[in-house]
Structure 1
Amino acid sequence: MESLSTNVSRTIQTKLVLPPDTNHLGTIFGGKVLAYIDEIAAIAAMKHSQCVVVTASIDTVNFLSSARVGDILTLEGVVISTGRTSMEVYVKVECKHLDTGETSLTTTSFLTMVAIDQQGNPVPVPGVVPESEMEEELFQQATKRRKERSRATR
């Protein structure tokens, strides 16, 4: 199976933070951000594998800063490494603060998605070829993250 460029899976979404998305402090619910992250990771993995996928794990989620009502979130998801049937997806979320014009990194995350067939059985996926320095670095670190996941599930 031929390996695919990270550009095949790259997916970008933009979301507006609305009042129902926020807590009593006026900042977006972490669970809402997690739902956005899971959705974009699934789309990126489906684009890479050309299959239906399921979420196997959300390995790390780093909430670095918050977003408020009226802010614009930009989510970017990309398949960064693969196993036989699994794909590690890196998702970053940036926030554009309309009142200041500044952009800040709000969240980073790694998820593992598994490609499945119509019967729910895992199916092989293509490898991945990093396209940027950052992607190459994340690709090189993937083996370490995979070992850490394996230890955590024992």
Structure 2
Amino acid sequence: MAGRIAAVLRTALPDGAVVDVRPAAETADATSYDTVVLGSAVYMGHWMQEARMAAVRIAARPPRSVWLFSSGPIGDPPKPDEDPVDVRGIVAATNARGHRVFAGRLDRRRLGFAEKAMVLALRVPDGDFRDWDAIDDWTRQIAAELRSLSPVAAHHPIATRGP
């Protein structure tokens, strides 16, 4: 998702905008960026540890603007339909301008034994449930807000992803 968000930002922002994609674990200092879009997969209702730690680092030295996204609900309709447990605190700590939850994907082949047992017991469906149109629309909204904030903020965003 972060790669797609970055691609949409590159096309929606003015020429010369710098858009990087970095793993959350490698996001040590975001102060050189004007904007951060931080996302995480959601497991068992929580953001991944690497993304939570990136949020802590971002909160300590925040850029001008932060947006957050979560990827996790699966199925049709996606379940669960509530926000991740820890996201409210992350939004507050990073002073995020917004948070969106997007449906995710599940590939059982990538799961460990305990995770496979859990998805089997809960009858969780395999598949890719991501809504790329919704992700693109949200990203274009971010770009529009960045363009309205200042010319500088529209030139140095970063899309950061979880593991």
TM-score bracket, shorter-length normalisation: under 0.3
Please give the TM-score of this superposition, normalised by the length of structure 2.
Answer: 0.25
- The structure whose RCO (Cα within 8 Å, separation 6+) is larger is 2
Structure ranking higher in strand proportion: 1
Structure ranking higher in helix proportion: 2
Please give the TM-score of this superposition, normalised by the length of structure 1.
Answer: 0.26
